[in-house]
Amino acid sequence: MSETGFEVLATAAYKGERVAARRLATRNGVTEGEALRQVLTQAAGTQGLPLLLAEREQLRLGDHARRVAKTEEKAQQLALRKARMQPDATAWRGWFDGSATPNPGQIGIGALLCGPAGERIEISRRAGHGNSSEAEYLALAALLESAAQNGATGLVVYGDSQVVVNDVNLSVQAIAAGRGAKGLEAHRARTVALMAALGQVSLRWVPRHRNGDADRLSQQAIDQS
């Protein structure tokens, strides 16, 4: 083809124009490049094909720049989220889990508290009788009490109970509107007070498979004779 090659024409053409060019090539027995030139020349009208190609190249470059900027923005947002989720080197971390066997039944609580200097504190004990949500709350309270006793700061706590994590993280307005978990109000109030006494505490949900140590400790408490 001429200096305006097929790749240039194909890049500039819209999907419908490429389809029309293929049909024209089949119908008239010409190459797809020649047919595409005819289609784009007709689309250009009086402005001429070179100007049409230049305008569409500018549009293509603008679209590409916007896509690159959007991808970079998403990458930056993801990096910021990861940074916020990653506790700093001086933070304490804790995991909790509670079990009721049967449900309701005998409660076993488990928790693991780890400090920045290698501290590792395990909690595994029975805690009376109740349901699984009460067991989770009791395990969380035990963890927070241990954190206070050991001077934990910047504590990040993980649990696999969405009921408890969501209940504790409710806003003041949501609680006032009565959107908290029913029957667990006293447990929530106690937990919120313990967290307030510790200062900066973040409570986050994790899937069960990422809460293995706390689960093991709670089951161990149930299995104790």
Tell which residue, 103, 88, 61, has the closest CA to residue 153: 88
> What is the reported pLDDT for 86?
62
Q: What is the pLDDT of residues 8-50, one digit of tens each?
A: 999 999 999 999 999 999 999 999 999 999 999 999 999 999 9
Question: Considering the entire predicted model, what is its pTM?
Answer: 0.63
Structure tokens at 140: 């969380």
The Cβ of residue 205 has, within 10 Å, a number of other Cβ atoms equal to 16
Confidence of residue 1 (pLDDT cuts 50, 70, 90): very low
> What is the reported pLDDT for 78?
86
Domain ranges of the chain: 6-82, 93-223
> What is the reported pLDDT for 90?
75
> What is the reported pLDDT for 5?
87
Confidence of residue 3 (pLDDT cuts 50, 70, 90): very low
Give 3-state DSSP helix, strand, coil % of the chain, rounded to 5.
60, 20, 25
**DSSP 8-class letter at 216:** H
Task: Report, as an integer, the average pLDDT of 51-60.
Answer: 94
Integer angstrom CA distances of residue 140 from 49, 168, 216, 220: 71, 10, 15, 17
Q: What is the CATH number of domain 93-223?
A: 3.30.420.10
pLDDT of 218 higher than 70: yes
Three-state DSSP class for residue 113: strand
By CB atoms closer than 10 A (0-12, 13-18, 19+), residue 167 is buried
Confidence of residue 200 (pLDDT cuts 50, 70, 90): confident
Structure tokens at 97: 């889990």
Q: How many CA atoms lie within 13 A of 166 on its CB side?
A: 8
pLDDT of 205 higher than 60: yes
At CA 41, angle to CA 38 and CA 45, rounded to 5? 140
Q: What is the pLDDT of residues 103-115, one digit of tens each?
A: 999 999 999 999 9
pLDDT of 98 higher than 90: yes
Residue count (the chain) = 225
Confidence of residue 202 (pLDDT cuts 50, 70, 90): very high
Report the Cα–Cα distance between both ends of the chain, in Å, rounded.
88
Confidence of residue 88 (pLDDT cuts 50, 70, 90): low
Tell which residue, 120, 96, 100, 121, has the closest CA to residue 110: 96
pLDDT of 89 higher than 80: no
Q: Residues of the chain with pLDDT > 70: what percent?
A: 95
Better-predicted residue by pLDDT, 4 or 185:
185
**Tokens 């994590």 belong to which residue?**
165
What element of type H or E holds 109? strand 105-114
**Tokens 């029975």 belong to which residue?**
126
Task: Report, as an integer, the average pLDDT of 163-174.
Answer: 91
